[in-house]
Amino acid sequence: MSYMDKYELWLNSEYFDDETKEELASIKNNEKEIEDRFYKDLEFGTGGLRGKIGAGTNRINKYTVARATQGLANYIIQKGNENVKKGVAIAHDSRYKSREFAKTAALVLAANGIKSYLFEDLRPTPELSFSIRHLGATAGIVVTASHNPPEYNGYKVYWEDGGQIVPSIANEIIGKIKEINNFSTIEIMDENEALEKGLLNIIGKEIDDIYIDKVKELSVRENVDKDIKIVYTPLHGTGNMPVRRVLKELGYNNVYVVKEQEKPDPQFSTVDYPNPEDPNAFKLAMEMGQNLDADILLGTDPDCDRVGVVVKNLEGKYIVLNGNQTGALLLDYILQGKKEKNEINENDVVIKTIVTSDLGRVIAKYYGLETIDTLTGFKFIGEKIKEFEENKDKSFVFGYEESFGYLTGTFVRDKDAVIASMLVCEMAAYYKTKGMTLYEALQQLYKKYGYYIEELKSIKLEGIEGQRKIDAIMDSFRSDFPTEIGKLKLNTYNDYREGKSVDVNTNEHQDITLPKSNVLKFIFNDNSWYALRPSGTEPKIKIYMSANGKTEEEARQKLEDIKKEVLGKVDEIATN
């Protein structure tokens, strides 16, 4: 069926409501827009759906959410009656239509005889992860598009271990979804009927209380300066209540919230992009911090699984730490605390992603811990935690990724900005008792372990043409890549799609045991590196670059050389 045939079907079928038809009628003279909305189905990737809100098969709306949920329901039913009886936990963030999509999912499950536990109001993604295991549910759904712009929403699926579904499960669910060719075959139960039959259960405070208590148990040290001044912004999202509650209950007396960004706002009206990775998201927090002379600023993204940290440099200017820097500080702080209490065990393990700085590996080695790399995506870190529990051979201590996601403890199986916010504040309060800022603590790490400097370049390439350019960039680097950049000589390139690691000097191949993924990583003779990865959730290609040296100047020069060569080649391919 052509995109125009699909458009006409949605426009004329009795199944689709008047609001949908009115939206589609408004674009009847815009064939390019019709094509973009209907040329394909919105892809259910390895974690779920994410896309622009709107009518059409290539948009997220109550119909595409219902189809994805029906596919999930069919998979759960196939897994047996025990899985059906355990039910599904559902949460959502503050975005446009999040509540509607969450309810749609719950009522499609109800029509299939599967009960759901739906949070009464918005909740952070990590609390959803916790609730799955706490309730003994078979799966979980969270409606969120994380830090995407306001026109986006998404739908992520979790499994019974509390982690995002891994490719083996995702592929089976995708198969079930693809079998549903007719939207009108999807049934949805009336909300009152679902409540009466016990197939829709509303949850809230009882889960909050248990979750918050478990977060507080992860505190490393009690004897810290809890009078430090903290400025916090939830960026209009779900973090406001849980982050403030944890800090208050632990005795932090000077927590100031950015009022303009305190309340949920699906438009994220005070920022261009509600992402703590973007320094511009901290504009209001920095102004407030300067007025208060705050020690530290924090910002969580809309679903509160990522946290950004702002500290004062030696000139007293606020700067945003990148995810590698915050991760290294947290790792060293946690391991330092464990060492003081003689709690480091020989089977303790740190997990990071393949595009995360190697500084964490160096720190872990200093404390005698092994570091394991996973593919990008916290689902793979969660999968390792489950594997450790089942095999009883390793013990998870800390996991993180460069994109501002951190986790310690195992009651959550996804990155958790509530836990991380608590520990960052505690860490800043601890270093203040030593007469140091977090920035000075970071400089100490560099002096001790070496200077590691990273940069991420995201290039937005939208639509069909953008996808072609992304494919061309990846194809070009697979066949023709620089073997020398400045003083750096290439040692190894890893092609995670082909599952091979190649020594460029000997041409020897080794198998990569990670799942297949369209990622390339090029590693030099001093372990500096760069990697290319198309985003799984946005129309972007990401170029990660990392350089190290004995001095900051040496590391920066290497990074500049890598940037010039690699970004120049990317730009040339995209332009041509």
Residues 410 and 550 in one domain: no
Which of 114, 10, 111, 4 minimizes the C-alpha distance to 54? 10
Alpha carbons within 13 A on the beta-carbon side of 206: 8
Q: In sequence order, what are the residues at sequence separation of 6 or more whose Cβ sits closer than 8 angstroms to the Cβ of residue 331? A: 350, 360, 363, 364, 398, 400
Residues 183 and 275 in one domain: no
176 and 192 Cβ atoms separated by less than 8 Å:
no
Amino acid letter, residue 375: L
The residues that bridge with 203 in the sheet, in sequence order, are 119
Each residue's pLDDT, cut to its tens digit, for the chain (576 residues) gives 899 999 999 999 999 999 999 999 999 999 999 999 999 999 887 779 999 999 999 999 999 999 999 999 999 999 999 999 999 999 999 999 999 999 999 999 999 999 999 999 999 999 999 999 999 999 999 999 988 899 999 999 999 999 999 989 999 999 999 999 999 999 999 999 999 999 999 999 999 999 999 999 999 999 999 999 999 999 999 999 999 999 999 999 999 999 999 999 999 999 998 999 999 999 999 999 999 999 999 999 999 999 999 999 999 999 999 999 999 999 999 999 999 999 999 999 999 999 999 999 999 999 999 999 999 999 999 999 999 999 999 999 999 999 999 999 999 999 999 999 999 999 999 999 999 999 999 999 999 999 999 999 999 998 889 999 999 999 999 999 999 999 999 999 999 999 999 999 999 999 999 999 999 999 999 999 999 999 876 789 999 999 999 999 999 999 999 999 999 999 999 988
- In whole angstroms, what is the distance from residue 461 CA to residue 467 CA? 7
Residues 106 and 49 in one domain: yes
202 and 118 Cβ atoms separated by less than 8 Å:
yes
* pTM, rounded to two decimals: 0.95
Residues 479 and 500 in one domain: yes
- In whole angstroms, what is the distance from residue 492 CA to residue 523 CA? 5
The separation between CA 386 and the C-alpha centre of its own chain, rounded to angstroms, equals: 19
CATH number of the domain residue 408 falls in: 3.40.120.10
Q: Which of 171, 203, 235 is the last residue of a domain?
A: 203
Residues 444 and 457 in one domain: no
- In whole angstroms, what is the distance from residue 125 CA to residue 155 CA? 11
Whether 35 maps to a domain, the answer reads no
The residues that bridge with 99 in the sheet, in sequence order, are none
- In whole angstroms, what is the distance from residue 163 CA to residue 405 CA? 14
- In whole angstroms, what is the distance from residue 165 CA to residue 317 CA? 42
Quickly count helices (H) and strands (E) in the chain.
19, 23
Q: Tell me the Cα Rg of the chain.
A: 24
Which of 201, 210, 197, 141 minimizes the C-alpha distance to 173? 141
Residues 265 and 339 in one domain: yes
Tally of domains in the chain: 3
Q: Which of 203, 225, 240 is the last residue of a domain?
A: 203
Residues 240 and 318 in one domain: yes
Residues 77 and 192 in one domain: yes
Q: Read off the tokens for 75.
A: 């998979």
What is each CA distance from 290 to 115, 257, 282, 514, 541, in whole angstroms? 50, 14, 12, 46, 36
Whether 551 maps to a domain, the answer reads yes
Whether 14 maps to a domain, the answer reads no
Q: Cα dihedral angle (222, 225, 226, 230), rounded to 10 degrees?
A: -130
Whether 22 maps to a domain, the answer reads no
354 and 496 Cβ atoms separated by less than 8 Å:
yes
What is each CA distance from 287 to 254, 281, 294, 317, 320, in whole angstroms? 17, 12, 10, 11, 14
Whether 74 maps to a domain, the answer reads yes
Residues 498 and 566 in one domain: yes
Residues 406 and 551 in one domain: no
Q: Which of 98, 146, 421, 528 is catalytic?
A: 146
The separation between CA 160 and the C-alpha centre of its own chain, rounded to angstroms, equals: 19
- In whole angstroms, what is the distance from residue 228 CA to residue 296 CA? 8
Whether 5 maps to a domain, the answer reads no
357 and 377 Cβ atoms separated by less than 8 Å:
no
Amino acid letter, residue 291: N
Does the annotation count 219 as an active-site position?
Answer: no
pLDDT (0 to 100) of residue 576 = 83
Q: Which of 176, 203, 230 is the last residue of a domain?
A: 203
- Domain of 350 in residue numbering reads as 212-449
Sign of CA dihedral 515, 518, 522, 527: negative
Alpha carbons within 13 A on the beta-carbon side of 351: 30
Whether 28 maps to a domain, the answer reads no
- In whole angstroms, what is the distance from residue 306 CA to residue 235 CA? 11
Place of tokens 């407030």: 288
Query: Is residue 53 classed as helix, strand or coil in its secondary structure?
Result: strand
Q: Read off the tokens for 544.
A: 């990660």
Query: Is residue 438 classed as helix, strand or coil in its secondary structure?
Result: helix
Query: Is residue 418 classed as helix, strand or coil in its secondary structure?
Result: helix
Residues 377 and 458 in one domain: no
